[in-house]
Amino acid sequence: MTAVRGVSWALWQRHRVVLLIVAGVVGTFSSALATNRIDRIPAPVAGMGLLLLVFAYLALVGVFIQPDADVATGGSSYPVHLFVLPVRTWILALWPMLVGTAAVFLAAESVLLADKSSGTEAVPLWWPALFASALLAGLQAIFWYPLGIPYSKLVLTFLHIGGLAVAAGLAVSYRVGEGLMCAGLLGIIAVSAVIASIGVSRARRGDIRIFELDRRPSGLSLQAPAPIRAYPGSGPAQSWYEWRLHGIILPMMVAALFGLFCIPLTVKDTYTPVTLVAPLGGLYPTIPTYVATYLPLLFVLVPFAAWIVGCGAKRTDVKRGDHTFHLFFATRPSSDRTLAAQKLWCAAKSSAVAWFLVLLGLAAILAGARGGYQSVGQDYVAPYRLPLSTVILPYLDETTVLRSVAILALLILWTWRNYAVGFWTELSGSLWLRYGYPIGGLLVASGVFTLLYWTARPGESWLSFSLLAGAFWVCVLAKGVGLLALLRYQRGTGVLTPRIVARALASYAAVSGAIILVLFALTGIVRSDFMSIGGSPLVIDSLFVGAVLFWVPLVRLLAAPVMLHHNRHRS
């Protein structure tokens, strides 16, 4: 009993702030559901709340797996400092699993019970909470078992999440009873507990053999060693190190997402007309319905995956529980600006490679999938099936190609932005700032939306274009104040020289201006429709400009080397 209390105390002492924040998020959302039906809550407020719940769940997963878990290691991610405790191995493994699954189950069940008490009958009561618990238990088994293959944890994570989601979807589609689903999920939890216990035991004994692709042969050799390529400076060397450390994580995640996306394409599908292009000969092209429905979602998931990676789901030498850097990082012969710039460059390279993989997958779909035609104004679909490339390519005129290229460029920039905007929190060395930054932003946004909804007059719209435009320009003003505060904070350190600030402002203006021009070209129809119903062009134009100026990062990128300097030279 003393050992169990000790392990519990260690978990609580290290993660009490995160656990209290998660409890507050779950309690607030449950209280809102208990007093209002989900369909009566405004969509932006409900969306923010659900996103907060997702982050709360991810925070619990990080707590009960290990916040510093390495997704690329072939060994075990169980905290090695706990191995020296005079505690049996099964307690080290099973007690955190029991506490974690219980915490996730209770959090999910409180939301489900609140939703049920408000009168909603569509959501089941028990198996969704067990699904979340089984997902956590499986991830604990994956990360704690030393399989010995680098990046195997990342691959197994996607297989586990995708397989569990597909199994739950099939069970719901075939109307499997809730009792049987709960029994299956409990079985997954039990199997995961056994695997995790064996993995922790092997890791504690040191019974691990890591398979390395670049392992050099042991023993003497009469051959001269291959010459080692010298880097021209510390910058290229740091770039190589950053890419080797975590640059491949995002492309692997995107490849796994695209693979999961393609699985349903093997099933016979219906076809949907593409009405975004001009018809040829009175016919619209038709593509598989699954592609038409879920391909836009996949495009959104790539920047979201970059956000997750940027918030910590990658290998890094600065995410440490004792708030310090590895000595190798702190003593590298590189300036703070160089180290931060190479991280930004690695994020850009990783984003470009990820979207290159997406384009390769789309080319494969275009070559292998089938399509047809549908008459304009009719439901008739041509009975024959042609290669999708043969069907689509004639409809791609110059305007469509230019718009597609512009949208792709914005998606790549969005991916890089989500990847890089969290670097300043990572380089600060403060875990509370690193994990509280995304959650805090969502809390502020959801709080503002909720306040606007509650203070709106009866019969009036609580959210309008003019209100959104004003909110964006307030955020732009806050960005300017933040820039001045940042420059004042770093005064005397020499990290942000006037030349660096001027170049950053020029790049910010150039990128923002280019995006504004592209948005105006892409949204011409939307702006015309808004003005045709009496809307002011000043409102819609200021909305787009303010949103772009707020969206393009400036202060957070400049804060990265400043935070690094503070953490690198702290006394």
Per-residue pLDDT reduced to its tens digit, 103-129: 899 988 888 887 776 666 667 778 888
As a three-state string, the secondary structure of 34-78 is HHCCHHHCCHHHHHHHHHHHHHHHHHHHHHHHCCCCCCCCCCCCC
Q: Are residues 400 and 455 in the same domain?
A: no
Three-class secondary structure of residue 236 per DSSP: helix
Please check the confidence at residue 327 and state whether its pLDDT lies above 60: no
Q: Are residues 179 and 240 in the same domain?
A: no
Please give the average per-residue pLDDT across 411-424, as a whole number. Answer: 91
Residue 224 lies inside a defined structural domain of this protein: no
User: Do residues 272 and 246 lie in contact, with contact meaning Cβ atoms separated by under 8 Å?
Assistant: no
Please give the average per-residue pLDDT across 467-471, as a whole number. Answer: 85
Q: What is the pLDDT of residue 505?
A: 93
Please check the confidence at residue 225 and state whether its pLDDT lies above 80: no
What b/e sequence results for 353-386 when a residue is b if at least 16 CB atoms lie within 10 Å of its CB, and e otherwise?
bbbebbeebeeebbeebbbbbbeeeeeebeeeee
Alpha-carbon dihedral sign for residues 526, 532, 533, 537: positive
As a three-state string, the secondary structure of 459-486 is CCCCCCHHHHHHHHHHHHHHHHHHHHHH
Containing domain of residue 378, as a range?
233-420
Q: Residue 373: phi, psi to the nearest 5? A: -140, 155
Residue 145 to residue 60: CA distance in whole angstroms: 19
Residue 16 to residue 8: CA distance in whole angstroms: 11
* 97: nearest Cα among 191, 3, 2: 191
| Residue with more model confidence, 481 or 445 | 481
Residue 209 to residue 203: CA distance in whole angstroms: 10
Residue holding tokens 């005079």?
86
Q: Are residues 461 and 560 in the same domain?
A: yes
Residue 222 lies inside a defined structural domain of this protein: no
Domain boundary among 420, 451, 468: 420
535 vs 470, 474, 538, 539, CA distance in Å?
15, 21, 9, 7
What would the two tokens of residue 76 be? 């075990």
Q: Are residues 415 and 438 in the same domain?
A: no
Residue 500 lies inside a defined structural domain of this protein: yes
Q: What is the pLDDT of residue 383?
A: 59
Strand partners, 286: 273, 372
Q: Are residues 129 and 79 in the same domain?
A: yes
Q: What is the pLDDT of residue 479?
A: 92
Residue 220 lies inside a defined structural domain of this protein: no
Alpha-carbon dihedral sign for residues 23, 26, 32, 35: negative
Q: What is the pLDDT of residue 351?
A: 94
128 vs 112, 176, 178, 473, 547, CA distance in Å?
8, 14, 10, 41, 37
First-to-last C-alpha distance (Å) of the chain = 41
Residue 180 to residue 177: CA distance in whole angstroms: 5
Please give the average per-residue pLDDT across 498-525, as a whole number. Answer: 91
Q: Are residues 35 and 108 in the same domain?
A: yes
Q: Are residues 367 and 451 in the same domain?
A: no
Please give the average per-residue pLDDT across 35-60, as a whole number. Answer: 74
Residue 48 to residue 444: CA distance in whole angstroms: 10
Q: What is the DSSP string of 367-391?
A: HH-EEEEEETTS--B-S--EEHHHH
Confidence of residue 57 (pLDDT cuts 50, 70, 90): confident
Confidence of residue 320 (pLDDT cuts 50, 70, 90): very low
Q: Are residues 538 and 464 in the same domain?
A: yes
* 355: nearest Cα among 418, 438, 424: 418
Q: Are residues 188 and 68 in the same domain?
A: yes
Confidence of residue 174 (pLDDT cuts 50, 70, 90): confident
Please check the confidence at residue 322 and state whether its pLDDT lies above 50: no
Please give the average per-residue pLDDT across 299-313, as a whole number. Answer: 82
Q: What is the pLDDT of residue 483?
A: 92
* 160: nearest Cα among 130, 140, 146, 183: 140
Residue 371 to residue 285: CA distance in whole angstroms: 7
Can you say how many angstroms the Cα of residue 466 is from the centroid of all Cα atoms in its chain?
30
Confidence of residue 213 (pLDDT cuts 50, 70, 90): low
Q: What is the pLDDT of residue 323?
A: 46
Q: What is the pLDDT of residue 319?
A: 47
Q: How many domains does the chain have?
A: 3
Q: What is the pLDDT of residue 192?
A: 92
Please check the confidence at residue 475 and state whether its pLDDT lies above 60: yes
Q: What is the pLDDT of residue 318?
A: 54
Confidence of residue 477 (pLDDT cuts 50, 70, 90): very high
Count, residues in the chain: 571
Domain boundary among 420, 449, 473: 420
Q: What is the pLDDT of residue 570?
A: 66
Q: Are residues 415 and 432 in the same domain?
A: no
Q: What is the DSSP string of 99-125?
A: HHHHHHHHHHHHHHHHHHHTT--SS-S
Residue 227 lies inside a defined structural domain of this protein: no
Which DSSP category does 169 fall into?
Answer: H
Please give the average per-residue pLDDT across 195-219, as a whole number. Answer: 73
| Residue with more model confidence, 216 or 143 | 143
Q: What is the pLDDT of residue 216?
A: 53
What would the two tokens of residue 387 be? 């290669």
- Of 57-71, 190-204, 271-285, which range is least confident? 57-71
Q: What is the pLDDT of residue 67?
A: 63
Q: What is the pLDDT of residue 122?
A: 63
Q: What is the pLDDT of residue 18?
A: 79
Please give the average per-residue pLDDT across 535-547, as a whole number. Answer: 87
What would the two tokens of residue 181 be? 């689903």
Count CA atoms within 13 Å of residue 86 on its CB side. Answer: 2
Q: What is the pLDDT of residue 223?
A: 58
Q: Are residues 152 and 255 in the same domain?
A: no
Angle at 388 between CA 387 and CA 391, to 5 degrees: 95
Q: What is the pLDDT of residue 531?
A: 77
Three-class secondary structure of residue 87 per DSSP: coil
Q: What is the pLDDT of residue 478?
A: 92
Please classify residue 446 by burial: count the beta carbons closer than 10 Å to its beta carbon, then call 0-12 exposed, 13-18 middle and 19+ buried.
buried
Domain boundary among 402, 420, 438: 420
Task: Round the average pLDDT of the chain to a whole number and report it.
Answer: 80
Confidence of residue 214 (pLDDT cuts 50, 70, 90): low
Residue 218 lies inside a defined structural domain of this protein: no
When computed from its CA atoms, the radius of gyration of the chain, rounded to whole angstroms, is: 26
Confidence of residue 411 (pLDDT cuts 50, 70, 90): very high
Please check the confidence at residue 325 and state whether its pLDDT lies above 60: no
Residue 393 to residue 404: CA distance in whole angstroms: 13
What would the two tokens of residue 511 be? 């990128």
Residue 104 lies inside a defined structural domain of this protein: yes
Helices 43-65, 431-455: axis angle to 10 degrees equals 160
% pLDDT > 70, the chain: 84
Express each pLDDT in 230-267 by its tens digit: 666 777 888 888 888 778 888 988 888 888 777 777 66
Q: What is the pLDDT of residue 397?
A: 83
Q: How many CB atoms lie within 10 A of CB 534?
A: 6
What would the two tokens of residue 540 be? 């819609």
Q: Are residues 460 and 563 in the same domain?
A: yes
165 vs 12, 128, 188, 343, 406, CA distance in Å?
31, 11, 13, 34, 34
